[in-house]
Chains A and B, each alone.
Chain A
């Protein structure tokens, strides 16, 4: 992805103007430091536009365009049959959703976990997964996004977001994936503010990021 300045039209630009741009590149939070040159990282980092993709929410039928969310958003990448890293990632987002629930921030953020297992993660499965993980879908700020098919999942999750996943051998619970972990905090102008590449992201930090971006 090339670093490029983004011209935003209409209300979104006004929001950015009011909240202020700290880095001059559309960011509001201070530069995030990385262990290596972020140009060499496979995932989008501070100051870059979130990969521009449109994905369906199979539960509501809505189409979500990542660059037109118009609110700060939190992304992570998962599959619902995962027993190890993914429930921690989803659980962290769920805890953040609960933390902002009933506050002024509740309607000012979107939680957008993207599955890379569209074969099994259909609407019914994701609805059950939400119930199992105590995600509150009625809050209206959470959308599971599901690429249409395996090839599209690769194209979006691996090629655009830099989260690689490889299907592994069958287990008693069906096939699994070896995969990397990533949580992205994106501002209302669709610029990445934080990229946490860990299977155990800091819940308190994510909540603080959301609160900082939602005023």
Chain B
């Protein structure tokens, strides 16, 4: 190690504003991860695949400690009410259960923030790593072929979430 001042990796290191990325039509997603849905409002316990081929999907990566993720729930709720029949919504946390934190804690957070769709645990952060999310919240839109069409880092507005839903649905 040389003692010297390192150059900061840009302001992106603290990017807090949302940004949408439209993936090229040739993008081929190799994402295929298994997550564990829990019992919570709108959600039934069970293993499931992300993405689920045959079903367009909006995946919301969140954590219960993440204040912006709580804020994100309002826009997601509106978009889910308007597009939930065409596009499957799923929220996924990478928080590992244990150490006094369990599925009931996730369900309680979910309930208090008005969640009404599938909520799942991704132990190992496999989805987050697969979609190269570097912060939370992070939204990914998969089309019915399981390909990523659009992603959004940071808080997305209702219009942005609905635009994502239209892009994949």
- Interface residues of chain A, those whose CB is within 8 Å of chain B, are 1, 38-45, 48, 82-85, 87-88, 91-92, 94-95, 97-99, 101-102, 132-136, 139, 158-159, 162-164, 166, 168, 176-181, 199-200, 202-204
Contact = CB atoms under 8 A, between A and B. Distances in A.
B67 interface: yes
Interface stretch (B34-42, B78-86, B128-136): B128-136
A98 B13 contact: no
Name B's interface SS.
Answer: loop
B3 interface: yes
A170 B95 CA distance: 30
Contacts of B95: 91, 94-95, 134
A136 B100 contact: yes
A91 B63 CA distance: 9
Given A95-B125, A199-B13, A200-B128, A132 B65 contact: yes
Interface in B133-156: 133-136
A166 B135 CA distance: 20
Interface residues of B, number: 39
B96 A98 contact: yes
Interface of B: 1-6, 8-9, 11, 13-16, 63-68, 94-101, 105, 123-126, 128-129, 132-136
Q: Which 8 A-B pairs have the closest CB atoms?
A: A42-B6, A136-B99, A98-B98, A134-B101, A95-B96, A98-B99, A98-B96, A1-B1
